[in-house]
Amino acid sequence: MLRAFFVSVMFAMPGDVVAQDVAVTSLSGSVNEHFDTTARVAGSRLVSVRLGTARGLAFDPSNVQVVRPVSLAGVCVRSISRDGLYWMRTYYGVEATASGKRLLIEPFTSSLDQILRSYGEGEIAIVAFSSVDASCLDQSPLVLPVLVPEGAPDRIEVLLNSGSRRISAGLDGGEQVVCVTPQNIERIVFDSICTLAVVLSDRPTQRVLQVAMDDGLTVVREDYKIFLPAHQ
Amino acid sequence: MTLPKRLRTLFESVSSWSRPAWFLLASAGLTGVIFLFVRVFVLDITPVALISAQSTFVTYEVQRGPASNFTLQGAQLRDRSQVCEGILDGTGRFTGLVAPGQGNRVSYTHHRSHLLITLDIPPGTSAAELTVEGHAVCKVQGDTLNLLVPNEVLDRHLPFPIVGRGEIGAELRIQTAPVQAQDLIQVDDGHGGFSVRRAPGPLLMGATVRLFGRTSTLSGTGQLYPIPDAEFQIPRGSRLSSTEEPSTMVGTVTAAADDFALDVEVTLEASEVLIYRIGQRDQVERLAVGAFARSFSNPGLVPILVAIAIFGFILQLLCALDGVVRDKRGRR
């Protein structure tokens, strides 16, 4: 509560450009999170969508921001650590009257603050999507990329768990996304890192990330709707 | 001067060093010499790892082109348009030599009805080539080629090569909903297609890593010897990977119709082996074997150790005899 107070005070400071641009989520109930001493076995193919480049800093659970469309009733946030030991899936409400093009996920954690801070920024995979359903089981949700605080939104990074399939991906505009298999790290949560340099337009856009997964026998295609903010 | 007298003189001269500093210096010097000796001849010599694994999936990056060539008999293709006209037989199957290009990635996946061999040809690497008797060499079109060897013809094949940086199995990971629920996959090759019974995976079913030491003497290295107790059981659901580029991983993989897993056998430098497995935070592990075990089973050191042991024994025997003789004289 104290942190929420400080956050609200900080964002209310006049002259702070970032503060004016950020709305804060509300939460009814508690954060649905867990940290295991052994790994979970459950998940989704789309593991993380980030706008910007992770800076190699420690992860800061008090400053997780996602892109915010104007009309957004609620947001589902799924998060998992690279080693699979931590996972979270929580529905947050968004005040209709709140303004701001960024949305601060608050509280991101209720009891795992110290554990999460021991991870690097790039080791916590987060995917957020708009939802009106608190169960977070939407069929074709609009993915809201996570923003790197104070980072330049010049690059999309998508983490995928393809099950060792060969990945090729692209945006609906024709831009090809470069996908690589991470080397020298464990591939428990994701096994493909797809990146693409983007230039944001003057108005918010909704793009489609088209992913083709080839296991040598058949090719399976999946589309993910991604919301990209306007260039600021 | 007789030998006992010489030994007595030596002993008396050593015992005359009354100052303990001399003993400390001598001990430190000797320890340093022995440590350097052990380091140069034992610790700095990387053991060789022999990996025997059962896995549904193996992949490697082609490092030595000619050594990675393999022959296929009666293989089906997922996309026949990728190969030159006329090199497939009347039933649309391929029988000939496959020569992956330098830098290509070769993956072997054993499904229940077929062995799938995938050649990934990244941009900038040379295309794989197919050679069939009586035809010109054919360069593969596209950036990936999928060859499917039916189970019933697997026994006509030699073991398939693994020469280069590779990975065996894939770590047990976060599972996702199945992309296709059915296990019978209809592969559309543009000519009526064919069915493949898919196997779940990829998964390492189990593996053993044995370490062999290398002898090292002043004249060089070269002999292998088994290090006792240096046998590692790799748990199911891990991934074995080689780190270095270029890698020393060399071996083969065989597939059998009645066995779900591929039989993989490779050797490489033990320092290259990485084990990835689900567990705690540090999930990448390396193999290590104690210097003690390596030292005492190193055949290169055996003559030296035997010489030291005989010397010590003779020295003690002579000193004891000398004592007996002196005792007799004294009594007289």
| Structural domain count of chain B | 1
> Chain A residues with CB inside 8 Å of B278's CB?
38-39, 84, 186, 188
In this predicted structure, what is the pLDDT of residue A4?
45
Q: How confident is the model at residue B172 (pLDDT cuts 50, 70, 90)?
A: confident
Which residue, B218, B227, B228, is CA-closest to B300?
B218
Residues of chain A with pLDDT under 70: 1-20, 34-44, 138-139, 232
In this predicted structure, what is the pLDDT of residue B332?
63
> Chain B residues with CB inside 8 Å of A164's CB?
57, 170, 202
Q: How far apart are CA B112 and CA A72, in angstroms?
A: 48
Stretch B208-213: mean pLDDT: 88
A45 and chain B: CB distance < 8 Å anywhere? Answer: yes
Q: How confident is the model at residue B117 (pLDDT cuts 50, 70, 90)?
A: very high
Out of B120, B243, B283, the one facing A186 most closely (by C-beta) is B283
Stretch B157-182: mean pLDDT: 78
Query: Coil, helix or strand for B277?
Result: coil
Please check the confidence at residue B18 and state whether its pLDDT lies above 70.
no
In this predicted structure, what is the pLDDT of residue B175?
63
| Domain assignment of residue B310, yes or no | no
Tokens of B142: 């596209």
In this predicted structure, what is the pLDDT of residue A82?
83
In this predicted structure, what is the pLDDT of residue B15?
62
Contact residues, B window 129-148, toward A, CB-based 8 Å cutoff: 144, 146
> Chain A residues with CB inside 8 Å of B167's CB?
none
Please check the confidence at residue B159 and state whether its pLDDT lies above 90.
yes
Strands A46-51, A146-147: parallel, antiparallel or unpaired by DSSP?
A: parallel
Q: How far apart are CA B176 and CA B298, in angstroms?
A: 49
> Chain B residues with CB inside 8 Å of A40's CB?
174
Q: How many Cα atoms within 13 Å fall on the side-chain side of residue B268?
A: 31
In this predicted structure, what is the pLDDT of residue A230?
84
Of A110-124, B168-182, B228-242, the range with the lowest mean pLDDT is B168-182
Stretch B123-143: mean pLDDT: 87
A83 and chain B: CB distance < 8 Å anywhere? Answer: yes
DSSP conformation letters of A60-114: -GGG-EEE--SS-SEEEEEEEETTSSEEEEEEEEE-TT---SEEE-SSS-SS-HH
Contact B57 A164 (CB under 8 A): yes
In this predicted structure, what is the pLDDT of residue B116?
93
A207 and chain B: CB distance < 8 Å anywhere? Answer: no
Q: How far apart are CA B235 and CA B240, in angstroms?
A: 10
Tokens of B84: 């030159």
Domain range enclosing B116: 48-172+182-294
pLDDT in tens, B22-33: 778 888 898 898
Q: How many Cα atoms within 13 Å fall on the side-chain side of residue B15?
A: 6
CB pairs A-B closer than 8 Å = 85
Strands of the sheet containing B250-254, edge to edge, are B160-163, B250-254, B262-269, B48-55, B204-217, B220-234
Whether the Cβ atoms of residue B171 and residue B186 lie closer than 8 Å to each other: no
Question: Mean of the per-residue pLDDT values for chain B?
Answer: 82
The percent of residues in chain B predicted with pLDDT above 70, rounded, is: 83
Residue carrying the six token digits 């700095």? B44
Please check the confidence at residue B13 and state whether its pLDDT lies above 80.
no
In this predicted structure, what is the pLDDT of residue A11?
41
Mutation site, A218, A219, A221, A224, interface B, largest B CB count within 10 A: A218
A44 and chain B: CB distance < 8 Å anywhere? Answer: yes
> Chain A residues with CB inside 8 Å of B146's CB?
216-217
Whether the Cβ atoms of residue A194 and residue A181 lie closer than 8 Å to each other: no
Please check the confidence at residue B35 and state whether its pLDDT lies above 90.
no
Out of B57, B239, B281, the one facing A85 most closely (by C-beta) is B281
B93 and chain A: CB distance < 8 Å anywhere? Answer: no
Contact A184 B284 (CB under 8 A): yes
Q: How confident is the model at residue B147 (pLDDT cuts 50, 70, 90)?
A: very high
Q: How confident is the model at residue B108 (pLDDT cuts 50, 70, 90)?
A: very high
**Backbone dihedral angles phi then psi of residue A132, each to the nearest 5 degrees:** -105, -5
Out of A42, A217, A218, the one facing B174 most closely (by C-beta) is A42
A218 and chain B: CB distance < 8 Å anywhere? Answer: yes
Q: How confident is the model at residue B270 (pLDDT cuts 50, 70, 90)?
A: confident
Out of B118, B175, B202, the one facing A43 most closely (by C-beta) is B175
* Smallest CA–CA distance from B195 into chain A, residue: A217
Please check the confidence at residue B206 and state whether its pLDDT lies above 50.
yes
Contact A214 B109 (CB under 8 A): no
The residues near A58 (Cβ < 8 Å, ≥ 6 apart) are A117, A118, A119, A120, A121
In this predicted structure, what is the pLDDT of residue B297?
67
CB atoms within 10 A of CB B289: 18
Please check the confidence at residue B251 and state whether its pLDDT lies above 70.
yes
Q: How far apart are CA A77 and CA A209, in angstroms?
A: 19
In this predicted structure, what is the pLDDT of residue B124?
86
Query: Which has more confidence, B15 or A201?
Result: A201
In this predicted structure, what is the pLDDT of residue A69?
85
In this predicted structure, what is the pLDDT of residue A131?
83
Stretch B15-38: mean pLDDT: 77
In this predicted structure, what is the pLDDT of residue A36?
59
Stretch B139-162: mean pLDDT: 90
> Chain B residues with CB inside 8 Å of A187's CB?
170-171, 173, 239, 276
Q: For B127-193, what is the HEC assignment?
A: CCEEECCCCCCEECCCCEEEEEEEHHHHHHCCCEEEECCEEECCCCCCCCCCCCCCCEEEECCCCCC
Please check the confidence at residue B44 and state whether its pLDDT lies above 80.
no
pLDDT in tens, A1-45: 444 444 444 444 333 333 447 788 877 777 777 665 444 434 568
Q: How far apart are CA A63 and CA A45, in angstroms?
A: 25
Mutation site, A127, A166, A185, A188, interface B, largest B CB count within 10 A: A188
